[in-house]
Chains A and B, each alone.
Chain A
């Protein structure tokens, strides 16, 4: 009898353990995003969704260094851990073809006013293949590569006079890459001040995001998006010139610049080490915050990435909201997406600090005047372009990251590195059957 009672107790305990999460469960949506300020804004915004619907929103913020690995590992394991993933634009190809994202084409066409969303954002963050009209996401945070500059240096009368004397034109935020180099050279006064902090890092997509906009603006391209032929595009004379230009900025940047990505350029700027710094607009709220940037929060200006000799293009940043194919809450996730894209919600999203993809909200005076950098952000929009978003993007990116970084550190010439990248890219496309 005692034995029976013991078995019964164990059985009840096991049932209780299994049942606890079920008893406790209420409607809940889990969103995965990287750990940064916009995720905090979304967390705040989602409280309105909870108030309206009673559905709890759990925003899981994953550190940038593990963001991609965490999400992809969950997908490979077909985990239902995340309902919504706010992922990079480059992930679209891999996660749509791989079956990890829910195909939202019909749902978006029926429920979302696509015309209200900036077409560039829709194409970059939602559509795959490009131009196909097939949607796998909705733009959440639209970001762009921009520049910070020290207004105390740029507006100093003595500096202005010396600059004009040396270069023959007024010192002002640069409009072209040629001007950018002049200003970077002018302010290079080692060891305490350098002209510019560009992205040179080999980490993830660092140098690629920094250099590709120079490449496009110098007339280069990654390849033919129709045929996927790369030879003669990525290693053209224009791209060689662009890479040589980008490398030439190294002498005007701090000694550890080959390790710089967004965090390092931001730190260099806040420390007063550089006159200009490249960074994503999404990180600029911290620059005008007196707690985070006590020395220069009121001495910082912002400008649109410059134009090149053959055009003007800017690297797109930010992420789109996709629904995980393994989520058990896909209907709730769709409800959230629909709620998020409403104009009043987008207005609040913009007020909180998010970069809205809603065209009308983006162009409103309220948005443009909300921060000192929103005008530069909105002005960057027409020039946004993106890296390959094909399923093989990671291999293509890896070849670029290594090759371009080798040029920056002087291990390879621009021509050799670009020929090598072209060879690798064609091998990757060949292997993946793009030429069949």
Chain B
């Protein structure tokens, strides 16, 4: 009786809406509104730290100034350099580890878990303990081991020519396991009978890798690459902690690091919003290239 009254009170559409609305409201409040509001602010001269000074419309000036500022292009170059170096290294190490782990051996579970540990740590914690490991005197483990070979300590976080390498090493240590995990999932899903058929044909190892493993695992590899590229493009925490806000000088100052300074140090809110949109457009464009390639690979598969 109660059910019937309930059914008479609300139509199916209303019930559906009642379930969807909380999520929709949350999405609009937390995602859509800030997105549109920051777009609005990106066309204004506005500092959040000066609430008593109203936002002044300045058209595309924020975008024009950012895109014509050679320093900003420098930060983009630094970021691109980091993304390419870090993602390629992580891909090679991660995929290599996955190939090694894609077989049965004793303590496989334990070894896999241990390899996965770095990506479960907070990037700030990782940055902090690598700061100690990379210390430029005998107290740093790396320099303690390498100093005799190089005739002195290496300035991992103090030499502008080497600092980016230190950031790449730390990011690779942390995120190669992610590449490994996705690759391992892809490798495990390849049907065994394909390899058995290849064995019957006396196919070489290289042949099996090139014509069975790689084509079947590549869609997942592309997804892993897509995630890592997007994430690496936003590199902030490790740079903030390890190389002290993108130092030495501006050697490791990524776009996100600079964006943080613009937004939360200088409270140059309008300009920071414009910068965030430029970053968003670049990430969306990069993602599209990957997705298109992914669709192509899937089509071929």
**A residues whose Cβ falls under 8 Å from a Cβ of B:** 68-69, 72-73, 75-76, 78, 94, 97-100, 191, 201-203, 254-259, 273, 391-392, 394-395, 398, 402, 405-406, 408-412
- The answer to whether A394 and B249 touch (CB under 8 A), given A76-B51, A99-B51, A411-B160, is no
Bits for B154-182, please: 1 = Cβ < 8 Å to A, else 0: 01011110000000000000000000000
Contacts of A75 in B (CB 8 A): 49
**B residues whose Cβ falls under 8 Å from a Cβ of A:** 47-52, 135-138, 152-153, 155, 157-160, 244-251, 261, 264-268
CB atoms of A98 and B136 under 8 A apart = no
Contacts of A257 in B (CB 8 A): 158
- The answer to whether A391 and B248 touch (CB under 8 A), given A72-B267, A258-B158, A398-B265, is no
- The answer to whether A255 and B153 touch (CB under 8 A), given A98-B49, A191-B137, A394-B267, is yes
CB atoms of B248 and A409 under 8 A apart = yes
Contacts of A410 in B (CB 8 A): 160
Contacts of B52 in A (CB 8 A): 98-99
Q: Nearest CB to that of A407 among chain B residues?
A: B249
Contacts of A78 in B (CB 8 A): 51
B51, B136, B266, B267: the one contacting A256 at CB < 8 Å is B136
CB atoms of B49 and A76 under 8 A apart = yes
Given A98-B47, A256-B137, A406-B250, 7 more pairs with CB closer than 8 A: A73-B264, A202-B245, A202-B246, A255-B136, A255-B137, A256-B135, A259-B158
Q: Show 24 residue pairs from A and B whose CB-CB distance is below 8 angstroms, ordered by the A residue.
A: A76-B48, A97-B50, A98-B50, A98-B51, A99-B51, A191-B137, A201-B247, A202-B244, A202-B248, A255-B137, A255-B152, A255-B158, A256-B136, A256-B155, A256-B157, A256-B158, A259-B244, A259-B247, A392-B266, A394-B267, A395-B268, A398-B261, A409-B247, A411-B249
Q: Nearest CB to that of B264 among chain A residues?
A: A69
B203: min CB distance to chain A, Å: 54
CB atoms of A94 and B247 under 8 A apart = no
* Assembled-state Cα–Cα distance A402/B257 (Å): 13
- The answer to whether A203 and B245 touch (CB under 8 A), given A255-B153, A391-B50, is yes
A5: min CB distance to chain B, Å: 17
Most central of A255, A406, A408 by chain B CB within 10 Å? A255
Interface of B is mostly: loop
Contacts of B246 in A (CB 8 A): 202
CB atoms of B244 and A409 under 8 A apart = no
* Assembled-state Cα–Cα distance A410/B153 (Å): 17
CB atoms of B265 and A394 under 8 A apart = yes
* Assembled-state Cα–Cα distance A283/B196 (Å): 70
Contacts of A259 in B (CB 8 A): 157-158, 244, 247-248
CB atoms of B51 and A258 under 8 A apart = no
* Assembled-state Cα–Cα distance A46/B155 (Å): 45
- The answer to whether A201 and B244 touch (CB under 8 A), given A75-B49, A398-B266, A409-B159, is yes
* Assembled-state Cα–Cα distance A202/B163 (Å): 14
B49, B249, B266, B267: the one contacting A402 at CB < 8 Å is B249
Contacts of A98 in B (CB 8 A): 47, 49-52
* Assembled-state Cα–Cα distance A412/B160 (Å): 11
B108: min CB distance to chain A, Å: 40
Contacts of A202 in B (CB 8 A): 244-249
Contacts of A76 in B (CB 8 A): 48-49, 51, 267
CB atoms of A94 and B49 under 8 A apart = yes
Q: Nearest CB to that of A404 among chain B residues?
A: B249
Q: Nearest CB to that of A256 among chain B residues?
A: B136
* Assembled-state Cα–Cα distance A257/B135 (Å): 10
Contacts of A395 in B (CB 8 A): 266, 268
* Assembled-state Cα–Cα distance A173/B264 (Å): 41
Q: Nearest CB to that of A271 among chain B residues?
A: B139
Contacts of A73 in B (CB 8 A): 264
A175: min CB distance to chain B, Å: 30
* Assembled-state Cα–Cα distance A267/B244 (Å): 17
Most central of B47, B50, B138, B249 by chain A CB within 10 Å? B249
* Assembled-state Cα–Cα distance A408/B155 (Å): 13
Most central of B47, B135, B138, B267 by chain A CB within 10 Å? B267
Q: Nearest CB to that of B52 among chain A residues?
A: A99
* Assembled-state Cα–Cα distance A256/B156 (Å): 9
Contacts of B157 in A (CB 8 A): 256, 259
Q: Nearest CB to that of B250 among chain A residues?
A: A402
CB atoms of A394 and B51 under 8 A apart = no
- The answer to whether A405 and B247 touch (CB under 8 A), given A256-B137, A258-B158, A391-B50, is yes
CB atoms of B266 and A203 under 8 A apart = no
A409: min CB distance to chain B, Å: 4
* Assembled-state Cα–Cα distance A258/B158 (Å): 6
Q: Nearest CB to that of A261 among chain B residues?
A: B244
Please name the 8 residue pairs, one residue from A and one from B, whose CB atoms are nearest each other, closest first.
A256-B136, A406-B249, A255-B136, A202-B247, A258-B158, A409-B248, A411-B249, A99-B52
Contacts of B155 in A (CB 8 A): 255-256, 258
* Assembled-state Cα–Cα distance A257/B158 (Å): 8
A207: min CB distance to chain B, Å: 10
* Assembled-state Cα–Cα distance A132/B153 (Å): 52
* Assembled-state Cα–Cα distance A391/B153 (Å): 42
* Assembled-state Cα–Cα distance A395/B138 (Å): 36
- The answer to whether A72 and B49 touch (CB under 8 A), given A191-B137, A402-B250, is yes
CB atoms of A191 and B138 under 8 A apart = yes
A266: min CB distance to chain B, Å: 15
Contacts of A408 in B (CB 8 A): 248
* Assembled-state Cα–Cα distance A256/B267 (Å): 31
CB atoms of B248 and A405 under 8 A apart = yes
Q: Nearest CB to that of A95 among chain B residues?
A: B49
B33: min CB distance to chain A, Å: 16
